[in-house]
A and B are shown apart, each in its own frame.
Chain A
Amino acid sequence: MSSGLAIETQNLTKTFKSRDSEVRNSLFSRNKREVVTAVDHLNLEIRRGELFGLLGPNGAGKTTLVKILCTLFPPDEGRAFVNGFDVARQQMDVRRSIGALFSVGERGAFWRLSGYRNLEFFSAIYNVPRSKRHERIIKVLDLVGLKDKAFDRYQRYSGGMKRRLAFARVLLPDTPILLLDEPTVGLDVKSSRTLREFIRNDLSRKAGKTVLYTTHYVEEASQICDRIGILNRGRLVACDTPESIRGIVKKGEVVEIRVKSILEAQVEALRTIEGVVDVVSELQDSVVGQWRLRLHIENIGSLPLVLDFLLREKIRLIDLKREEPTLEDAFVELTGTGLEK
């Protein structure tokens, strides 16, 4: 592993045997198991100090990858290195190098203790020196905006406060690498933005930490990450800067059309027009029946065919504009699946 890399995976593979249904798992039936490949021969390199976003739909393998990197799941094939340590052979060294936040990280806290006492316990198990514990706890509580609520019981915290305390716990040991699995889940818009800015400005830019940031949200990743990897069915289908990934779809054109009243069958028919790669439809105003159609077409020459179709079908055109492809367009093209905004 190169010394310039904080995280590296080489042909990393992880499969699970899963029960195929609730019915088969019931009392009088036998479990049938199927093999699911969560991470499929993944090769990934994340440089030291980099803020790397991992995007992917549900079941893409993002959480599995994070859990392999933090030594919770052993890989079936291939190798993974974190801070130069092998996740399968040097587990304690890996754990000393990372702070890991899971998408349900707030459940790991102790509900009858205060935020401070929770962090006091975790600072001990994360080997924070005894003489620095109090100072460190107060510092991270201040960073996540919970200093004033330090001695309130955890069970009285709101969902957002619980999430912030989980994040404070990750920051406690001051490790060089942070693995953040959907850190903004459950946060309101303002808290989410504050947290993203904190990750970008304080953790990445000022403190120089390496951050692996998994998310469903395209805009989140494009706003703060240096590079983005798109994971689909356990495979890395793209890995580059947000700008370069957007460029993947620049070989085509994106046109946004607003129309009044269009049927689902007509949207389907639009997709069959020569040169139309994909159509995403969205009802914008249900009272007046206004729809927004986002068409990904091979070239601008396909547009007259689209307009002919609208005329023929007597669909009233309200507005039409050409657009720059977004990261979501790239994602759709790469995976054939939409993401949450």
Chain B
Amino acid sequence: MWQEIEKVYYFIKRDMTSFSTYKTNMALMVLGALFGAISYAYLGDNATMQSVLQLYHISFKDYLIIGVAFSTYIGQALTLVQATATPWQLEEVLVSPTSLGTFIIGSSAWGFIWSTIVVVIYLAVGSLAFGVVLSINLVGTALVLALGISTLVGFSMIGAGILIVVKQGDPVTWLMGILTSVFGNVLFPPQVMPYPLRVISFFVPQYYFFTCIRLMMTGQAVQAILPDLLILALMCAIIMPLGYIVYSTCLKKARKNGTLSWF
């Protein structure tokens, strides 16, 4: 009996020792639980529904379906470069006469095509089965998507660069995921939160993305979102090149250290 208990102890010790070597990942998992609780608390609050009606003049159901539908793009954009960081595939591609840019775009293209299909399904089911009212400004929607996705791809490159160096638990993607769920205007408007928390959302590109996309999906003119769109464009102009620099630098560092295929 004691022998069996001792065996279980060594199983735990083995896994704990292995797990504890991934320090970043461990910290992120603990903090993720904390932020998850905050976002679900606001989602179930009555004040949230009233706030949606005041801000967007649409029902909470419409607000949620549009938000959740377009969050598939956000999830895709945030993780697309990490998905290409699979060490063996990275090595195989890096010894071929293919540029890094082609590699990143090529690796992510299908993800975006699939996201588009998912968004169409969400909106079609929402509209046909649940009466979500849609009046799509196509040009405005395309513009917001291009700026929003490009900005988040920039963050994804930063995250992938860090992942290549630290190997597991990319804090940037985690942070952006948390920011999306709590401050990103996906499940509830940040305006329902206390002012110090609400201010954080002004620095989160997802907030501007979801604000603009909802207005473009409900028939508003581009002029109505111009200030938010300009802020999103500014963020894109900063984050995209920064992301490329960080990714290239981290890749260079991993190649120099010989740790490209270590995971």
Which residues does A use to contact B, with CB under 8 Å? 14, 16-17, 22, 25-28, 38, 64, 67, 70-74, 92, 95-96, 98, 100, 102, 104-105, 107-108, 110, 122, 125-127, 169
Partner of A95, one of B96, B258, B261: B96
* Contact (A27, B92) CB under 8 Å given A95-B97, A125-B98: no
- CB <8 Å contact, B89 and A73: no
- CB <8 Å contact, B96 and A104: no
Please give 16 more A-B residue pairs, beta carbons under 8 A apart, in addition to A125-B93, A126-B96: A16-B257, A27-B20, A28-B20, A38-B258, A64-B258, A71-B94, A73-B258, A74-B255, A92-B97, A95-B95, A95-B97, A98-B95, A100-B95, A102-B91, A108-B89, A110-B89
Q: How far is the CB of B20 from chain A (nearest CB, A)?
A: 4
- CB <8 Å contact, A107 and B88: yes
Q: How far is the CB of B147 from chain A (nearest CB, A)?
A: 30
Which B residues, 195 to 229, have Cβ-Cβ distances below 8 Å to chain A? Answer: none
List of A residues within 8 angstroms of B252 by Cβ: 74
Chain B, interface SS category: helix
Among B20, B93, B252, B256, find the residue whose CB has the most chain A CB atoms closer than 10 A.
B256
Which B residues, 45 to 95, have Cβ-Cβ distances below 8 Å to chain A? Answer: 88-89, 91-95
* Contact (A96, B97) CB under 8 Å given A26-B17, A108-B91: yes
- CB <8 Å contact, B21 and A22: yes
- CB <8 Å contact, B97 and A72: no
How far apart are the CA atoms of A28 and B17 in the complex, in Å?
Answer: 10
Q: Give 27 pairs: A residue, B residue, CB < 8 Å, sorted on A.
A: A16-B258, A25-B21, A26-B17, A26-B21, A27-B20, A38-B258, A70-B95, A71-B94, A71-B95, A72-B91, A72-B95, A72-B255, A73-B256, A74-B255, A95-B95, A95-B97, A98-B95, A100-B95, A104-B88, A107-B88, A108-B88, A108-B91, A108-B92, A122-B92, A125-B93, A125-B97, A169-B92
Among B21, B92, B260, B261, find the residue whose CB has the most chain A CB atoms closer than 10 A.
B92
- CB <8 Å contact, A74 and B256: yes
Q: How far is the CB of A35 from chain B (nearest CB, A)?
A: 11
Q: How far is the CB of B86 from chain A (nearest CB, A)?
A: 9
B7 contacts the other chain (CB 8 A) = no
Partner of A17, one of B20, B91, B96, B257: B257
How far apart are the CA atoms of A73 and B255 in the complex, in Å?
Answer: 5
Q: How far is the CB of B218 from chain A (nearest CB, A)?
A: 40
Q: How far is the CB of A32 from chain B (nearest CB, A)?
A: 15
Which residues does B use to contact A, with CB under 8 Å? 17, 20-21, 23, 26, 88-89, 91-98, 252, 255-258, 260-261
Q: How far is the CB of A24 from chain B (nearest CB, A)?
A: 10
Q: How far is the CB of B84 from chain A (nearest CB, A)?
A: 13
- CB <8 Å contact, B21 and A27: yes
How far apart are the CA atoms of A203 and B15 in the complex, in Å?
Answer: 47
List of A residues within 8 angstroms of B97 by Cβ: 92, 95-96, 125-127
Q: How far is the CB of A300 from chain B (nearest CB, A)?
A: 47
List of A residues within 8 angstroms of B93 by Cβ: 125
How far apart are the CA atoms of A93 and B34 in the complex, in Å?
Answer: 51
Q: How far is the CB of B30 from chain A (nearest CB, A)?
A: 13
Q: How far is the CB of A110 from chain B (nearest CB, A)?
A: 8
- Chain B's closest residue to A106 (CB) is B88
Q: How far is the CB of B17 from chain A (nearest CB, A)?
A: 6
How far apart are the CA atoms of A195 and B23 in the complex, in Å?
Answer: 44
List of A residues within 8 angstroms of B258 by Cβ: 14, 16, 38, 64, 67, 73
Q: How far is the CB of B169 from chain A (nearest CB, A)?
A: 13
* Contact (A72, B21) CB under 8 Å given A95-B96, A104-B88: no
Q: How far is the CB of A176 from chain B (nearest CB, A)?
A: 14
Among B91, B96, B256, find the residue whose CB has the most chain A CB atoms closer than 10 A.
B96
List of A residues within 8 angstroms of B26 by Cβ: 27
* Contact (A26, B20) CB under 8 Å given A73-B256, A73-B258: yes
How far apart are the CA atoms of A38 and B94 in the complex, in Å?
Answer: 21
Q: How far is the CB of A30 from chain B (nearest CB, A)?
A: 12
List of B residues within 8 angstroms of A64 by Cβ: 258
List of B residues within 8 angstroms of A38 by Cβ: 258
* Contact (A27, B255) CB under 8 Å given A95-B96, A108-B88: no
Among A25, A26, A92, find the residue whose CB has the most chain B CB atoms closer than 10 A.
A26
Q: For the complex of A and B, list the 8 residue pairs with the smallest distance between their C-beta atoms, beginning with the closest.
A: A108-B92, A27-B20, A107-B88, A108-B88, A95-B97, A125-B98, A70-B95, A125-B96
List of A residues within 8 angstroms of B88 by Cβ: 104, 107-108
Q: How far is the CB of A252 from chain B (nearest CB, A)?
A: 38
How far apart are the CA atoms of A104 and B90 in the complex, in Å?
Answer: 13
- CB <8 Å contact, B94 and A72: yes
List of A residues within 8 angstroms of B257 by Cβ: 16-17
Q: How far is the CB of A341 from chain B (nearest CB, A)?
A: 28
How far apart are the CA atoms of A27 and B16 in the complex, in Å?
Answer: 10
How far apart are the CA atoms of A331 and B81 in the complex, in Å?
Answer: 45
How far apart are the CA atoms of A102 and B260 in the complex, in Å?
Answer: 13
List of A residues within 8 angstroms of B260 by Cβ: 72
List of A residues within 8 angstroms of B98 by Cβ: 125
Q: How far is the CB of A88 from chain B (nearest CB, A)?
A: 11
How far apart are the CA atoms of A125 and B100 in the complex, in Å?
Answer: 11
- Chain B's closest residue to A105 (CB) is B92
List of A residues within 8 angstroms of B255 by Cβ: 72-74
List of B residues within 8 angstroms of A14 by Cβ: 258
How far apart are the CA atoms of A100 and B96 in the complex, in Å?
Answer: 9
List of B residues within 8 angstroms of A17 by Cβ: 257
List of B residues within 8 angstroms of A27 by Cβ: 20-21, 23, 26
